[in-house]
Amino acid sequence: MQFHCIIHQENLCAKSLKMQNVMSVVTKTVNLIRSKGLHHREFQELLHSMDADFDDIPYYTEVRWLSSSKMLKRVFELKDAIQTFMESKGNSVEFMNEEWIEDFVFLVDITTHLNELNSHLQRKGQLIHSVFDHVNAFAVKLTLRETQIYNKNFVHFPTLQSLQVKNSQKYAKLITELRDDFDHRFTDFKKSAMHFNVFSCPFYVKIEEVPENLQMECIDLQCSSDLREKFRLSIARILQKKCLQRKISEDSQIGSFRDLIIQQHLLVRASFFTDEPCQIPCEITTF
């Protein structure tokens, strides 16, 4: 199975957000500060004199659109200093416009969520079904966030929650459009969901939904108590061995567990469907 670059598809979805009114102002402001050496030094000195938490703002790179997440968040956190600096140079900014600030803060939060998805998609050693799971999870989260924002519940938009938002329906609609774009761009990806399920959970798929050329093998697999026990014990042994070899911090437990499961799962599953296990990862993980 071949798939067009999944991360590129996500970037295109992110760009579908109609927030150019915010991006143009923020980009212009950042470029004015960073493009001239004198302005840049003066701004850094201002931050130092104000005992700001940060000593600079990052550039915005359009090629790496999701890099805007860090830039937007930093601009929001330094908005008072930026306001002071821009006014000292005789330039006006939109930071006093309540409607624009709401749009800006919404964009800060939604790009943070998109950036988190991007980080999940770029993890090394992932199989294609894991990438599919990340995309599916994000789509479900978008649906939940849409409903919550429509009801003026901003629990998953912490920056936006700090404001008294007047038009929550506007942002619910933007999330709806983003979710629809995700559904459209990942249509082909979702058509292969059953193939991913057969590969990731062969013991639990419904035989009626399995491709016909794999149905007999899946039945044999699901009815084999020996294979089930072998799979369970093999994972348990690897986990026990790894946990004894090193101390795993609470922050890394989930990732380490997932990596171990993937490694063992791949070896066991590959042996069920081919005499040459090394061919399986290449065919299934190509995207």
Mean pLDDT of 101-116: 90
Give the predicted TM-score (pTM) of the model.
0.70
Q: Region of 64 please: left (phi>0), alpha (psi -120 to 50) or beta.
A: beta
Q: Quick one: tokens of 70? A: 């860090």
Answer whether residue 139 shows pLDDT above 60.
yes
Single-letter amino acid, residue 267: L
In the chain, domain spans = 6-191, 224-284
Q: Which range has the worst mean pLDDT, 57-61, 119-123, 234-238, 267-271?
A: 267-271
The percent of residues in the chain predicted with pLDDT above 70, rounded, is 73
**What is the reported pLDDT for 283?**
36
- pLDDT tens digits for 176-199? 988 888 888 777 777 777 777 777
- pLDDT tens digits for 143-182? 999 999 999 999 999 999 888 888 889 999 999 988 888 8
CA distances from 218 to 23, 44, 70, 128, 201 (A): 51, 63, 46, 20, 10
**What is the reported pLDDT for 271?**
47
**What is the reported pLDDT for 24?**
85
**What is the reported pLDDT for 5?**
60
The residue among 34, 159, 27 whose CA lies nearest residue 93 is: 27
**What is the reported pLDDT for 70?**
82
Answer whether residue 286 shows pLDDT above 80.
no
Higher-scoring residue by pLDDT: 224, 243: 224
For 110, phi then psi, to 5°, come to -70, -35
- pLDDT tens digits for 20-32? 888 888 888 888 8
Average pLDDT, the chain: 76
**What is the reported pLDDT for 148?**
93
pLDDT bin (cut points 50, 70, 90) of residue 222 is confident
DSSP per residue, the chain: -----HHHHHHHHHHTS--HHHHHHHHHHHHHHHHSHHHHHHHHHHHHHTT-S-S--PPP-SSSGGGHHHHHHHHHHTHHHHHHHHHHTT---GGG-HHHHHHHHHHHHHHHHHHHHHHHHT-TT--HHHHHHHHHHHHHHHHHHHHHHHTT--TT-HHHHTS--S-HHHHHHHHHHHHHHHHHHTHHHHHTHHHHHHHH-TTTS-GGGS-HHHHHHHHHHHT-HHHHHHHHHHHHHHHHHHHHHS---TTTHHHHHHHHHHHHHHHHHHHHH-S-TTHHHHHHS--
pLDDT bin (cut points 50, 70, 90) of residue 244 is low
Give the integer Cα–Cα distance in Å for 17 and 151. 21
- pLDDT tens digits for 39-73? 889 999 988 888 888 888 887 766 555 567 888 88
